[in-house]
């Protein structure tokens, strides 16, 4: 084991952690804003990747196809929010949480079934970015893309939440939905906006992961599990904590994969989530 290898693993772990952070942010935004745990978030990631691959048949530009894939998943997310989730948002408290879980779980099973029948093969994307070697440390092109795009998108999210009127309104709804309504803010419109943003984040995570590895529709459930674990560890109502948790867990699973194998690495992730729930059960309250 050399220092160079350790550094390369660290960079790969950061890239994986940023993908986790995008997925976890999608969970945290929707749950924190409207008490809906979006079990279907992994499916949106796969749908965006498949849409991007399909659009490459008519466009030679990966960037254009990716934008089209994200636009498709955004429209799909808007349709889901204005139909199925509108029924969920009529409920309050624990009833909304439970109904949201059942509705999004059913949505996930439906989309997974359709995707499994129509697109049983795996999907991946080529990027054409060469590896970069600095001081003997090699960074793959896919890793460069993931780190650059994810960092920019997450930075824009923080700027949106802290510097814009809509962002401040979103934070107000996060803290007190009823109070926001009394202040003249329409929580339902904010919830729709944030749900669309969350599925776009998931779609971006799926596309970026497609640069790194081959993804099949069956991977949707695993991506959802990663997203939920990251959100729980970081705090289901804490965006900053979710991003930090995504980075840390990305490093943990990358090093664990290398030293002790993928199966044990996933068990470590589950173990971390269980410990956090035992120490801070209020995170899901």
DSSP 106-131: HHHHHHHHHHHHH--S-B-----PPP
Residue 124, CA distances (Å) to 17, 62, 92, 121, 135 in order: 19, 12, 41, 10, 30
**Is pTM, for the whole model, over 0.75?**
yes
Strand partners, 134: 137
Domain tally for the chain? Answer: 1
**Which pLDDT score is estimated for 28?**
92
Q: Do 30 and 44 meet the contact criterion of CB atoms below 8 Å apart?
A: no
User: Cβ distance 145 to 129 under 8 Å?
Assistant: yes
Q: What was the pLDDT predicted at 105? A: 93
Domain that includes residue 61, residue range: 3-284
Residue 166 confidence (pLDDT): 87
> Which run of H or of E encompasses 275?
helix 262-279
pLDDT in tens, 4-49: 888 989 999 999 999 999 999 999 999 988 889 999 999 999 999 9
The CATH number that applies at residue 152 is: 1.10.3470
Report, in angstroms and rounded to the nearest whole number, the Rg of the chain calculated over CA atoms.
Answer: 19
Q: Which pLDDT score, from 0 to 100, does residue 280 have? A: 66
User: For residue 90, what pLDDT is reported?
Assistant: 87
CA distance 66 to 95: 37
Tell me what pLDDT residue 172 has. 82
Question: Which of the residues in the chain have pLDDT under 50?
Answer: none
pLDDT on residue 1: 63
């Amino acid at each position: 084991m050399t220092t160079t290898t350790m550094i390369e693993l660290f960079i790969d772990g950061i890239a994986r952690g940023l993908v986790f952070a995008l997925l976890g942010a999608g969970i945290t935004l929707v749950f924190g804003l409207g008490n809906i745990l979006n079990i279907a978030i992994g499916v949106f990631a796969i749908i965006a990747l498949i849409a991007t691959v399909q659009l490459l048949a008519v466009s030679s530009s990966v960037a254009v196809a990716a934008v089209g894939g994200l636009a498709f998943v955004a429209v799909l997310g808007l349709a889901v929010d204005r139909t199925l989730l509108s029924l969920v948002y009529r409920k309050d408290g624990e009833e909304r949480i439970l109904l949201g879980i059942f509705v999004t779980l059913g949505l996930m099973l439906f989309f997974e079934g359709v995707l499994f029948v129509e697109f049983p093969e795996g999907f991946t994307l080529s990027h054409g970015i060469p590896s970069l070697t600095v001081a003997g440390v090699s960074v793959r092109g896919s890793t460069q893309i993931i780190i650059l795009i994810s960092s920019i998108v997450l930075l824009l999210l923080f700027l949106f939440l802290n510097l814009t009127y809509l962002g401040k309104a979103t934070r107000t709804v996060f803290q007190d939905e009823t109070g926001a309504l009394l202040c003249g803010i329409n929580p339902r419109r904010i919830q729709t906006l944030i749900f669309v943003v969350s599925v776009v984040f998931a779609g971006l995570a799926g596309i970026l992961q497609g640069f790194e590895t081959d993804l099949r529709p069956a991977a949707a459930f695993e991506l959802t599990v990663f997203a939920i674990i990251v959100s729980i560890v970081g705090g289901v109502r804490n965006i900053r904590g979710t991003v930090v948790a995504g980075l840390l867990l990305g490093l943990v699973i990358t090093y664990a994969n290398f030293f002790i194998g993928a199966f044990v690495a996933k068990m470590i992730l589950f173990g971390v989530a269980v410990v956090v729930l035992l120490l801070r059960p209020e995170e899901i309250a």
